[in-house]
Amino acid sequence: MNRWDELNHLFSRTGAIVTFGLNALYGRHQIRKGVWGGAWDSSNACDFMNYTVLKGYKIDSWEYGNELSGSGVSASVSAELYGKDLIKLKDVVNNLYKNSDLKPSLVAPGGFFDKQWYAKLLQVTGSGIVNFVTHHIYNLGAGMDPNLVNKILDPHYLSKVSETFSNLSQTIQQNGPWASAWVGESGGAYNSGGRHVSDTFVNSFWYLDQLGMASRYNTKVYCRQTLVGGHYGLLNTTTLVPNPDYYSALLWHRLMGKGVLAVGSNASPFLRSYAHCSKGRAGITLLLINLSNQTDFIISVQNSMDMRLTVEENISGENSFVRGLKRSVSWVGSRASDEPLYREEYHLTAKDGNLQSRTMVLNGIPLELTEDENIPNLDPVRLDVNSPLYINPLSISFIVFPNFDAPACA
């Protein structure tokens, strides 16, 4: 258990929120190719959890199994068996933590979404057993696919995964409304991600778009594969220097609050937009993703009783045209004060315009570790709220409106 002790020392020092996965195949046997049956042997899990409790280690949640749902990945277990195991595991957790102020949640199944399988699991377990329903997403396909960059920059391709989010949300509402959805694992492209893609700037178009989309479908937690390891690691596996997605995750974490605001639009599909209540402060934060390689978007925002965005598209090599854009939004804003209003802008681009650069640029400044190997300051530029908002081709922007009074964020 020395390794587990060392890890918990790290968790304690860093404030990590820990979900630990338990082996759901222990004691089972293969009854036919790819399908496992028989009784789950919980002794190993019980001993491990008991040791964790005795040592006083804080575990936020225990997850049961990994990629065994539906037809599984190399192995699968029926939803009926899985559900019965979860009822048993819940009793174990309740017993082990009966004298503890902290009672971890139970998370399952940690696999790829299969509507019938997930529905059956929730029906078998019933109310109060599974707290969070996890699924894995690798919607970009194999890391070796030479078309990864094209997929990432194709808004229609990125939108396809919304069907998975929607179906899971409906499945939970219909069969287990006491539970919430998590993305338990996602790295864009599977098999360690794409070399010179997953560890470069271009991957943030996929990553931030999926964070925004997941939030729209009431996803409570999104676990990125991985912190260190493979091409999709947030840190370089050799130097531990942050890859571009690390800074994307950090800005999302700092700026985007839990309140999700609906934004309807008839703008070009290449302009992706998401809105949240700002984190830890008044106002709202917009995430704007320009997937176009030739179109600038110029957006005028009026902070009035009905928020209105007017978009002007400037296409390189052609005459520009202006499109009046009415957006149907679920939130209403008004001026919070008569003081001068401003907004904060965080514009992200690739160094030297190379989408497959490992260096992200924030407001014209490359994001590199300081001489002391600390994370650099992520400072916005502040502009008058009534000035036009420019979104350059192949760029990502977080825009904070601290004076926007949205009732949904009160």
Which burial class, exposed, middle or buried, applies to 268 when counting CB atoms under 10 A from its CB (0-12, 13-18, 19+)?
middle
Which burial class, exposed, middle or buried, applies to 163 when counting CB atoms under 10 A from its CB (0-12, 13-18, 19+)?
exposed
Rg of the Cα atoms in the chain: 23
| Helix and strand numbers, DSSP H then E, in the chain | 9, 22
Marked catalytic residue, from 6, 63, 67, 163: 67
- Find, among 277, 300, 274, the residue nearest to 289 by Cα: 274
Please compute, for residue 181, the number of CA atoms within 13 A of its CA located in the half-sphere on the CB side: 25
Q: Decide if 345 is catalytic.
A: no
With residues binned 3-state (H G I as helix, E B as strand, rest as coil), the percentages for the chain, rounded to 5, are 25, 30, 45
Marked catalytic residue, from 6, 63, 80, 185: 185
Q: Decide if 67 is catalytic.
A: yes
Which three-class secondary structure state does DSSP give residue 350?
strand
- In the beta sheet, which residues pair with residue 366? 361
The pair of three-digit structure tokens given for residue 270, joined into one six-digit string: 């290449």
Which three-class secondary structure state does DSSP give residue 173?
helix
- Phi, psi at residue 72, to the nearest 5°? 70, 180
Which burial class, exposed, middle or buried, applies to 322 when counting CB atoms under 10 A from its CB (0-12, 13-18, 19+)?
exposed
- Phi, psi at residue 404, to the nearest 5°? -80, 120
Q: What is the DSSP letter of 3?
A: H
The pair of three-digit structure tokens given for residue 33, joined into one six-digit string: 């190719």
- Residue 83 vs residues 46, 119, 143, 151, 225: alpha-carbon distances, Å: 18, 11, 33, 36, 26
What's the rounded Cα separation, in Å, for the pair 62 and 21? 6
Give the residue numbers annotated as catalytic, written as ranges: 67, 185
